[in-house]
């Protein structure tokens, strides 16, 4: 039984991930050992492809084990200053692939921390604890930032009475960020603080922000959605939630092998989409599998 299948052309790698992968592939062509500090992209299928070309994934704790003359790649998520210090002490080449949007955010946080610290100000970051990008952001201020994942986390903040500056991880849900901002403002007012003491920075990547609306529209236009994403992708979780809200018959899969016939009904129109860490070639594989069911 054939199904009408369409791939969402706005899905797939964001410009930051495209840039990082192109950097990696160019370096691999030089036939030198290339080490990525953490997974260059949160997608196992793409990682396998790059590892077959010679890319090696390592953890920060393994930096001292890298042979001299090797290339170390800083992925799109970015790194804290401490990582650069470790690299500077070794005879290895640095390949800087941090997304320009993330680099700009790092600089903003560092500058804002310098501005508000004399007034006992607080930096609050809406993001996922332990995420590579968030670790890099917190590292800009030597750990002097509060990371919140949900509204509930805000209730644990002990306000100092000084200014509060709110930032977001670049791949967070814009609507959730709005809720965080509104709840933070209520908490500050409840403690008698001047609402003007809160400064909110618009730091969600415009590609991610715009993709939410378009993805919801795409999900509603099909009877069944297959959302292709790696299990470790934070952005994948955010965007899949958008799909589910727009179309309850949405299923998250890592590859074509995860597809279940039980999901399909006669006459289904099938939409294929994915995260900013999902390669387009993988979505095409999924589409081919559906066409041949």
Across the strands, what pairs with 148? 126
Coil, helix or strand at residue 73? strand
Integer Cα distance of 277 and 11 in angstroms:
9
Coil, helix or strand at residue 74? strand
Residue of 292, 238, 280 whose CA lies nearest to 7 = 280
Q: Tell me which fold the domain 101-169+171-204 belongs to.
A: Cobalt-precorrin-4 Transmethylase; domain 1 (3.40.1010)
Query: Options 3.40.1010.20, 3.40.50.1000, 1.10.10.60, 3.10.450.50; which CATH number does 4-12+207-291 get?
Result: 3.40.1010.20
161 dihedral zone (left: phi>0; alpha: psi -120 to 50; beta): left
Q: Would residue 244 show up in a list of annotated catalytic residues for this protein?
A: no
Selecting among 133, 214, 244, 284, the annotated active-site residue is 133
pTM of structure: 0.85
Give me the tens of pLDDT residue by residue for the chain, a chain 293 residues long: 578 999 999 998 888 889 999 999 999 988 778 999 999 988 999 999 999 999 999 998 888 888 888 899 999 999 999 999 888 888 888 999 999 999 999 999 999 999 999 999 999 999 999 999 999 999 999 999 999 999 999 988 888 889 999 999 998 888 899 999 999 999 999 888 888 999 999 999 887 777 888 999 999 999 999 999 998 888 888 899 999 999 999 999 999 999 999 999 999 999 999 998 899 999 999 999 999 98
């Amino acid at each position: 039984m054939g199904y009408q299948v369409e791939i969402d052309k706005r899905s797939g790698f964001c410009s930051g991930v495209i840039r990082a992968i192109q950097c990696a592939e160019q370096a691999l062509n030089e036939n030198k050992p290339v080490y990525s500090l953490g997974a260059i992209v949160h997608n196992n299928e793409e990682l396998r492809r790059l590892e077959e070309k010679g890319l090696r994934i390592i953890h920060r704790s393994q930096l001292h084990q890298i042979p001299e003359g090797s290339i170390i790649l800083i992925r799109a998520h970015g790194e804290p200053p401490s990582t650069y210090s470790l690299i500077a002490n070794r005879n290895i080449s640095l390949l800087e692939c941090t997304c320009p949007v993330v680099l700009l955010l790092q600089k903003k946080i560092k500058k804002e921390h310098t501005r508000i610290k004399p007034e006992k100000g607080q930096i609050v970051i809406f993001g996922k604890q332990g995420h590579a990008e968030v670790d890099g952001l917190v590292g800009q201020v030597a750990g002097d930032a509060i990371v919140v994942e949900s509204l509930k986390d805000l209730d644990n903040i002990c306000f100092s009475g000084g200014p509060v500056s709110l930032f977001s991880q670049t791949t967070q849900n814009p609507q959730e960020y709005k809720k965080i901002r509104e709840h933070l403002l209520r908490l500050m007012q409840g403690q008698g603080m001047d609402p003007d003491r809160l400064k909110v920075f618009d730091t969600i990547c415009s590609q991610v922000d715009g993709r939410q609306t378009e993805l919801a529209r795409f999900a509603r236009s099909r009877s069944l959605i297959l959302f292709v994403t790696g299990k470790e992708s934070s952005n994948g979780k955010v965007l899949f939630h958008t799909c589910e809200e727009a179309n309850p018959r949405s299923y998250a899969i890592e590859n074509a092998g995860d597809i279940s016939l039980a999901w399909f009904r006669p006459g289904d129109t099938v939409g294929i989409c994915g995260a900013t860490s999902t390669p387009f070639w993988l979505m095409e594989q999924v589409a081919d599998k559906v066409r041949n069911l």
